[in-house]
Structure formats: C-alpha cells, structure tokens
Structure 1
Amino acid sequence: MQTQSSPKPDLLSDPISLTLRKMTIPMLFGMITLMLFNLVDTFFVSLLGTEPLAAISFTFPVTFTVISLAIGLSIGTSAVIAKALGSKNLDEARYDGVVALIVSALMVAVLAFIGYLAIDIIFGLLGASERLMPYIYDYMSVWFIGSVILITPMIGNAVLRASGDTKTPSIIMGFAGIVNAVLDPILIFGFGPVPALGIQGAAIASVIAWSSAVVLILYILIAQKQLLSLDAGQQTFFRAAKKILKIGFPAASANMLTPIAMAVMTALVARHGETAVAAFGVGSRIESIACLVVLALSMTLPPFISQNFGAQKLDRVQYAYKATLKFIMVWQFAIYVLLIATSHWLSRAFADDPHVIEVIKLFMWVLPLGYGIQGIIILTNSSFNALHQPMNALILSVIRLFIFYLPFAYVGSIVAGLEGLFVGAVIGNIFTACIAYRWFIKYLEKVNQQQSQECLV
C-alpha cells in the first residue's frame, strides 16, 4: 500500500475519501485555468461590443458539440484503461492508449470537416442574424481547423487519469490555459507588429494553446511515463478500438446531446433579443466555472470506480458515489450563495448594456440554485460509464434533456418569459436527479447480487 504522502494514490486500497481528494484537488487547479479558456475569450471579446459577444455566444453550442465528442471518447479511454489496470493487464492498457489517440483524432477530424463546410447552415438554424455571421465565420473557420489538435491532450490526460495520476493532467491543462490567456489580448487587440485580429484572434489563441499542450502530453506519455506502446500483444487494432468505442461512442452521444439542448435553449433565449443571447452566453461561461468541482469529480471519480469495478470491490464504488454526491450538494449551495453576493460585480464585468446586465443577474439568481442537483446527474452519468454501462448514461441524458429539461424550460418560457425558462430548467433537473440516483443504486445492488451468486457457484 502507498503512503498517504504518495503523489499517486492506490485506488484499490487507500482510504476512499482521502484518495478522491488527492485525485481531485490537482485536477481542480488545472481545470480552473482550462475553464478560463471560455471565460477569458468571453471577457476580451465583450470589449469589442455586444455583437461580437452575441456571436461568440452562438458558437458555444457548436464548439461544445465537438468537445463533447472528445470528452466522450476520453471517457471510453479512461474506463477501458482503468479496468485493465485494475485487472493487472498493463500491456493491454498501454496499447489501448495508442488506439484511443488514433481513433479519436480521426473521428474529431471528420466532425470538424463537416462543421466547417456547414457553418452558414448551422448558425442559420440557430437563429444568428446576418449581422453576426461575419463574426461567427471569422471565429469558427479557425476553430474547426484547430479542433483536431484539441483531441490529443484530452485523450492523453484520460490515459494519465486512468492510472490514478491527476497531477500531471492538471499541469498540462493549466499550462494551456495560461498560454491562451496571454495570447488572447495580443491577438484580439494587436500588440507591436501583431495586427488586431478581433474575434478571430481568440480562436487562434486557443489553437496555439492546444498545440503547446499536444507537444507536452506526448512527451510525458511516451518518454516519461511510458504509458503508450505499439505492442498489441494478443489484441488487434480493431478489437481495441471496439472496446473504446463501445463506451466512448454512447458517452460521446450523451455528451453531444447537451450542446444540442443548449442550441435549443439558445434559440429560445434568442426570442428575447440579441442582448438576451449575449447575457446567456456570459451566464453559460460563468456556469462552467461555478460547476468546476463537479466537472473535476466527473473526471476523477470514474477511474476510481473503474479500477475498483475491475477488482470487484463494489463496496468502495458505492461509498465513493454516495459520499461524492453529499459533498457536491453542500458545495454547490455555497457556490450559489457566493454568486448571489457577487452578481452585481460580475454582471458589470462582462457587459455595459443595462439589459444584458439585468439578464446576467437573472441567470445567476435562478440557474445556479440547481447546480447541486445538476451535479448528481453529471456524476451518475460518469459513474455509469465507469461501470461500462454507457447506454444507461445515454438513456439518462435523453431523459434529462428531452423529457424534463427542455420541455419544462419551454413551458416556463410560455408562462413567465425568460425567468420562467430558467426556473423550468431547474425543475427539470430536479426530476432527473431523483431518477438518476435511484437507478444507479439499484444497478449496483443488481451487480453485487450477481457477484455474490458467482462466488457461491
């Protein structure tokens, strides 16, 4: 057993709460800088005016669709490799990592190419006006091309997390976030010989930041950690790819439902004007920061669950799941109180238009109240994937978004306008969280009974 001071905890035997804390804290610090990608972009673009701010707000559902594919594939990568490591199959885990990098890059390249060709169609359907299309094209034409670069550090970090190492991914994410923050004002507004590129500069800054992360992650995986190997052993490329895609594709599909729902939400908000869309875009980026701990746990809890699942230690799985949910409910309520206290300052930091400011405040008073409930759904989804039950996670996402979240938001918008839309979304999450928790606990009980019967036989 490793000591408590070990930088890499033993996921199968170390104390559960301590292990999750040691994994999550470094991940959290890395994600803080990574999440500043969107927030920093939004802040500097907001200085260009309301129209560029509205344009970048329209891009979020689309960019998140590609990112969701990458996240889903990283989930599949982490679950497969962590289970192999839990079962003591190190060579299999190393080859799975190589296959995951190749397959993921190909899939993201195809999606990005389609998106690049269909920019006008996609954003026309989202409701973007002709005035905003030049801004959108400037940003997305660069972003789509560069998105292929994004997948490598995301998959590479999944390989590291599967082994229990969350410190190194946090350093890589933090490094990329800092590079982006430094380059944003230089490329957007110009500096010395560098011309002012406007909203396109924000996209270029992101691509350069991702490229620097690619070099760093490949060096660490190949030269330092030796977590990648071309030795297939008894596997074939297609067999390894099938294992990853069996979890990664449903996980990606579930993740990609979120930006689709966000696109519908953006279209609903667009009925209230471009200023409302601009405010909603700011609120969405504030949400990414407010839910940072949930997102960090959604990356650190699955490797813990997968390794213990592979070692048939379901008691540790259930304890970790329940303890994490209790913590996140308390934490997110504290975040809600903090957002209310700072809503006046935050709204004015991102907007000058009085109407935009008021909508940002409305967003912060209503939606963050349900972030703890939303955390239950996110963590249950990631836990299902960790147990190699991606279809359960996909079905849960469909239930959340298309049976509760969007319908409740739509009805709320009809009854009480923009405020009703936000309230309806929160109520929809409450219903889904109740279903998610009960479903997961029941599934664990079923697996535990099956393992007990196998032991008796």
Structure 2
Amino acid sequence: MSSPLPSKSPARLSLFKLAGPTIVGNLLLSVVHLAAIRIVAALGSDAVAAVIAADRIYMAVQLIVFSITAGTTAMVAHAWGGNKPEEADRVVKLSAVVTLIASASLCLVIPWLARPLVGIFGLQGDMLDQSALYLTVLVFFNIFFSFLAVISAALRAAGDAMTPVWVAAIGNVINIALAYALVYGVGIIPALGILGAAIAAGLSYALVAIIFYLMWRNQRLLLKPLRQRFWESARLRKLIRIALPAGIEQFVFNVSIIAFMWVVSLYGTEAFTAYGIGVNVLSISIVIGMGFAIATATMTGQNLGAGQPDEAEQAAWRNLKISFATMALIGLVLGVNARVIGSFFINDALVLDYLVALTIMVAVVQPMMSIEFTLGGALRGAGDTRSPARIMATGFLLGRVILTAVFYWLELSVHWIYAALIADYIIKSAMYMHVFRKGNWKTAYNGGP
C-alpha cells in the first residue's frame, strides 16, 4: 500500500504551525494538572502533598517512555524529511512495541516499590498509603499513555501538530469532569478522595489512546500503517542509540527534581506543598518552551533528513529569538502576579508566602529556559541526545546538588534552596549555546562526533 509523500519542503515548515498547536496541547494538559490540584485542595494540604508526591514519582518512572519518544522524533523527522514515509511507519511501530514492553514491566515492579518511593517525601500514615495507591493506579494505565506518547511524537515529527491537540483535548475535558465526580462523589458514584483523581487521569489516557489507535488503524492520520516488517536489529540499535542518552538525561532530570523536592520537604509540609504547586503553576510557561523545543526538533530533523544542514541551523536560531522574547514576557507576567496566582490555589498564609517567592525566582530564569528548550530540541531532532544528557548532569551537579547542600548545611532558609534553580539554568543555558555553536550535532544522526 502506498503512502503520500510529505506535502512541503522541510525548509518551509512554519514555527507557529508546529509550535502553536503543541503549546495549546501542553497548556491544556497543565490546566488539567492544576484543576486536579484545585479539586483535591479542598481535602487539605496533606492530600495535595500526597498527589504531588505520586505525580512526581510517576513522571520519573515514565523516563523510559519519554526517552524512546526522543528517538522516535528524530528518526521519524529524518525519514519524513527524506521522503521516506514507509520508514517513518516502521519507526512508529517499533517504538510502540518497545514502549509497550517497558510499560508492562513497570506494572510488575512499581506496585512493590510505590510505598517506599512516595515515602521519601515524608508522607506518613493514611496519606502515604493513598499516595502509593494513586501512583500504582497511574502506572497500570501507563500502557495506554505509552502508545499515545509515541503516536503524538511521531505526528509532530512529521509536521502534524494539530491532531494530537484536539484528540488530547477530548481526554482533558473528560479527565476534569471525572476527577470532580470521583473525588467527591456524584449520584451513585462514591467519593473516592485522591484515588478518584488517579482513576480519572488513567481513564482519560485510555480514551485518548483508543481514539488514536482507531484513527491510525483506519488510515485517518498523516502517518499511515503499512503492511511491512518493522522489527530490524539495525533500526532497533539506532532507536536505542538515540534513546539511551535521552533516557539518561531524563533519569538525571527526575533524580534532580526528586532530590530537590526531598530537600525542600525537610523544611516542612508547607514548603513542600508550595514547591509542588509552584512547579505546576509555572508549567504553564514551561510547556510553551516545550512547544518551541518540539517544533525546533521537527524542523531540525526534517532539514537534516533533506540534506539541508545550514537551513536546520538557521531555523534553530530564528526559533530561539522568538522563544526567548516569548518566555521573557511570560516570566514577567508570572512574577508580577505571583501572589494573585498563588491565592487561587491555596489559602494557607505560610504556603502562599513560599509559593510567591518560588514563583518570582523561577520567573527570572524563563529566558534561560528558552535556550535550554529550543537548542535542546534542535540537538535532539538532529539525533544528538548525548549533549543534552551531559548538560543536564552538569547543571544538576553544580547548580542543584552542590549549592543546595551548601545552603542546607549553612542552615539557610528554604528561599535559598529555591534560588539554587537560578544557578542550574545559568549553567545549562551557557553550555547549550557553546555546544550548538560548535556544530557537531549536524552529523550526530549517522554516528558522527
């Protein structure tokens, strides 16, 4: 069965057509997370802490899926840019199978580890049990999430950023409605507390995955399934070669976040809750950066696949200028309105004070985050996932581990712990600029330096 070739030259790809829908989709996802926190907040700050802890661990265990989709993005973008839709189909199928195996393995392991994992944040008693159950439920639904992550990444890499948005929007609406009904109980539906929020999220993942699968199988997507072999050792090795450093990067990132949250938890539930809420509030700006990252990865990968390395580099620099200005503006808005935003989610005076301080500090680093997202996306789209891993590890070690340890040893306030984030992003943004300017990423896909 034949498949249509890409409809336009990679050089003509539009940043806003790629980044815009992705940003909207990620914003919708952030709204869902914020809505879940808002819904659970009525149960008390301990319940919010339990959800935040479980969500953080869940995001950490998903590093396998996210690392594989990094390989999917690079390989599909190169195949599509080189007018090879049949190879893009093979990559999608291979990635889906690998992530399915990984997700099934997590279903066997996490139920045994859930309680000690969420327990590192200082949860105790009933909240510890509920947080562990919340995590376990999400992991079982991760089988569905893995497929939608692969197909969404592949579609964006091929240039279709809109379809993942509207399909996910359906799941998001249902997620919020189900969360309210299952947390508090409606009619014959019993009140399940924070467990209800986990079930609602899981069901929305399942729904979106099923819709995507049916559309894909029925030839309704840009990437169409073909009758062909896809399991080939050379293709699998390339996927692993690209995915492995991305997995290491994700591991370092999640370890840094968890370690950072653990240190914050030593300052009390209020400081921990403020950090958890603050990260979700600021994810609104972060997902915008992710939109630029994914768009730049697509443009870089397709241009390199089409043999246009100079256009790939120029597109990355153009995107960086736009993302830098955009995220600087967003950081300003968030920083100025920090207390107003925080007041919407929490009434506790101490938690709110912590939240305002954190919001202002992270607002300061928004322009530097744009560098990490945009140039990081360019490197990953080129197949260079080793450099982002090295950069992440360096920022984590110097910016978070050492500084945080020094601040805690000096018995400084939690505000100083929050401030370590600034050093982290200064280091990473400087390293990204240096690595990208060297240009070695242009030959990384085929195993270059």
- Flag whether TM exceeds 0.5 (same fold): yes
Q: Paired residue for 2:8?
A: 10
Q: Paired residue for 2:434?
A: 438
Q: Paired residue for 2:177?
A: 182
Alignment of 1:79-94 (within 5 A): 79-94=74-89
Q: State the distance in 2 between where 1:446 and 1:350 align.
A: 45
Change (3 A) 1:316 1:288: same
Match of 1:324 among 306, 319, 342: 319
Contact 1:149 1:214 in 2 (8 A): yes
Q: State the distance in 1 between where 2:240 and 2:356 align.
A: 41
Does 1:263 find its partner at 2:227? no
Letter of the aligned partner of 1:366 in structure 2? M
Contact 1:94 1:229 in 2 (8 A): yes
Q: Paired residue for 1:5?
A: none
Q: Paired residue for 2:382?
A: 387
Deviation, structure 1 residue 197: 0.6
Does 1:202 find its partner at 2:197? yes
Q: Paired residue for 1:73?
A: 68
User: Which digits, 9 at most, give the CA deviation of each residue in 1:208-241, with x for residues without a partner?
Assistant: 10111011111222211362435445x6443333
Does 1:191 find its partner at 2:196? no
Q: State the distance in 1 between where 2:250 and 2:132 align.
A: 25
Deviation, structure 1 residue 202: 0.4
Q: State the distance in 1 between where 2:59 and 2:367 align.
A: 22
Q: State the distance in 2 between where 1:287 and 1:69 align.
A: 24
User: Which digits, 9 at most, give the CA deviation of each residue in 1:90-111, with x for residues without a partner?
Assistant: 2121122111111111112213
Does 1:244 find its partner at 2:242? no
User: Which digits, 9 at most, give the CA deviation of each residue in 1:339-365, with x for residues without a partner?
Assistant: 133222222211121111111111111
Match of 1:423 among 411, 419, 432: 419
Q: State the distance in 2 between where 1:441 and 1:110 align.
A: 40
Deviation, structure 1 residue 337: 1.9
Deviation, structure 1 residue 292: 2.1
User: Which digits, 9 at most, give the CA deviation of each residue in 1:151-170, with x for residues without a partner?
Assistant: 11110111211211101111
Change (3 A) 1:445 1:206: closer
Q: State the distance in 2 between where 1:409 and 1:157 align.
A: 36
Contact 2:309 2:442 in 1 (8 A): no
Contact 1:23 1:166 in 2 (8 A): yes
Q: Paired residue for 1:52?
A: 47
Q: State the distance in 2 between where 1:172 and 1:407 align.
A: 43
Q: Which piece of structure 1 moves more, 300-309 or 124-133?
A: 124-133
Change (3 A) 1:444 1:55: same
Q: State the distance in 1 between where 2:30 and 2:248 align.
A: 22
Q: State the distance in 2 between where 1:437 and 1:276 align.
A: 34
Q: State the distance in 2 between where 1:437 and 1:285 align.
A: 27
Q: Which piece of structure 1 moves more, 302-311 or 388-397?
A: 388-397
Match of 2:213 among 204, 211, 218: 218
Q: Paired residue for 1:285?
A: 280
Letter of the aligned partner of 1:57 in structure 2? I
Q: State the distance in 2 between where 1:302 and 1:445 align.
A: 12
User: Which digits, 9 at most, give the CA deviation of each residue in 1:34-59, with x for residues without a partner?
Assistant: 22232111111111101101111222
Change (3 A) 1:221 1:423: same
Helix, strand or coil: the match of 1:13? helix
Letter of the aligned partner of 2:428 in structure 1? T
Contact 2:383 2:441 in 1 (8 A): no
Q: Could you list the runs of 4 or more consecutive aligned residues of structure 1 that deviate by over 6 angstroms after TM superposition?
A: none
Q: Which runs of 5+ in 2 are unaligned?
A: 1-5
Helix, strand or coil: the match of 2:267? coil
User: Which digits, 9 at most, give the CA deviation of each residue in 1:56-81, with x for residues without a partner?
Assistant: 12223211113333222112111111
Helix, strand or coil: the match of 2:179? helix
Q: State the distance in 2 between where 1:93 and 1:227 align.
A: 8
Helix, strand or coil: the match of 1:272? coil
Q: Paired residue for 2:3?
A: none
Q: State the distance in 1 between where 2:102 and 2:245 align.
A: 14
Contact 2:335 2:363 in 1 (8 A): no
Helix, strand or coil: the match of 1:101? helix
Q: State the distance in 2 between where 1:445 and 1:132 align.
A: 47
Aligned residues: 438
Q: Paired residue for 1:144?
A: 139
Contact 2:118 2:132 in 1 (8 A): no
Deviation, structure 1 residue 135: 2.3
Contact 1:68 1:252 in 2 (8 A): yes
Q: State the distance in 2 between where 1:405 and 1:313 align.
A: 38
Deviation, structure 1 residue 192: 0.7
Q: Which piece of structure 1 moves more, 187-196 or 290-299?
A: 290-299
TM-score (norm 1): 0.90
Helix, strand or coil: the match of 1:195? coil
Deviation, structure 1 residue 413: 4.2
Q: State the distance in 2 between where 1:141 and 1:37 align.
A: 20
Q: State the distance in 2 between where 1:408 and 1:102 align.
A: 41
